[in-house]
Amino acid sequence: MSTLTPTTLLVAPDPTAPRLTRAVTGIDQTGAQVDLRVVEERPLTIYLNSREIVTAMTVGEHPEWLALGFLTNQGMVRGNDTVTGIDYDAELETVVVRTAVETDHEAKLARATRTSGCAVGTVFGDMMEGLEGLTLPATRLKVSDLQSLSQAINRTPSLYLEAGAIHGTCLCRGPDPLAYFEDVGRHNAVDTLAGWMRATGTGAEDKTLYTTGRLTSEMVIKCALMGIPCLVSRSGFTAWGVEIARQVGLTVIGRMKGNRFLCLSGAERVEWDG
């Protein structure tokens, strides 16, 4: 299996980017000095028009897509809202997403709650409302494609291989990875992907979302609201995540290592050709 490169991915991690990691010196178990690189973590304040929404801790590789995806996944910028601009200020560490018409985000902020997980894990009380009546595409998912994807993604040059302490999310179609994002929080990585999909007009109906993170309720909700029918992880599940996936008909596969995995929802999409 060949390793993915930036030429085979529409968007790929850049583990050599100096802004994303920092050189540090430590001592190993033998008392010897070791030089290594660790992932940077910086605040990013997201504004929707004139209103400050949240400050996220992020590696900061794609701030504009992260902001747009976060606001979209939280339902604060709807699919029919016209985004007139996204302004990123690196010095102030802020992103302002501007829409043609003011939204109802003030009411949503009043219902905000904090969820478990790393980095930003903000979910709003009415996110579940977006799942009502949701029908996900009946795309087939081949076991052989899963095996190919797992090997290719795990071998792709990444910040995880360079420094660790980071989550990855990859949008895939069949056996082909399309766009791979990393961040200190799995929520950030998924939001960045959502922002990229919206900015590029990339459809979700024939896609699979691969993540290194746990399949929690919020991850399941975000994937379903993005319209992606299949969610795959090398990590495990939470009970509520599985319950919601079954309610909305989302295919959920976890604990994928080598040729092994567990499917706890949506097995009707899986084609057992592996």
- 62-72 pLDDT, tens digit per residue, is 999 999 999 99
Residue 113 has pLDDT above 60, yes or no: no
For residue 115, the model assigns a pLDDT of 43
**What distance in Å separates the CA atoms of residue 48 and residue 104, rounded to the nearest whole number?**
11
Spacing of C-alpha 54 from chain mean position: 17
Q: Which domains does the chain have, with CATH numbers?
A: 42-115 (3.10.20.10), 141-271 (3.40.140.10)
Mean pLDDT of the chain: 88
The pLDDT of 201-218, averaged and rounded, is: 95
For residue 112, the model assigns a pLDDT of 52
End-to-end CA distance of the chain: 16
The pLDDT of 98-114, averaged and rounded, is: 68
User: Is the Cβ–Cβ distance between 195 and 72 less than 8 Å?
Assistant: yes
For residue 97, the model assigns a pLDDT of 97
The pLDDT of 241-248, averaged and rounded, is: 96
| Tokens at 245, concatenated | 């996936």
Residue 125 has pLDDT above 60, yes or no: no
For residue 109, the model assigns a pLDDT of 62
For residue 117, the model assigns a pLDDT of 43
Residue 78 has pLDDT above 50, yes or no: yes
Residue 242 has pLDDT above 50, yes or no: yes
Lowest average pLDDT, out of 40-54, 107-121, 187-201, goes to: 107-121
The pLDDT of 106-111, averaged and rounded, is: 57
Residue 30 has pLDDT above 80, yes or no: yes
**What distance in Å separates the CA atoms of residue 65 and residue 57, rounded to the nearest whole number?**
15
Nearest to 85 by CA among 47, 31, 115: 47
DSSP lists the bridge partners of residue 54 as 46
- At 126-176, the pLDDT tens digits run 567 778 889 999 999 999 999 899 888 888 888 888 888 899 999 999 999
**What distance in Å separates the CA atoms of residue 215 and residue 190, rounded to the nearest whole number?**
12
The crossing angle, in degrees rounded to 10, of helices 217-225 and 186-200 is: 0
Helix (H/G/I), strand (E/B), else coil: 72: helix
Residue 102 has pLDDT above 90, yes or no: no
The pLDDT of 39-45, averaged and rounded, is: 95
For residue 75, the model assigns a pLDDT of 86
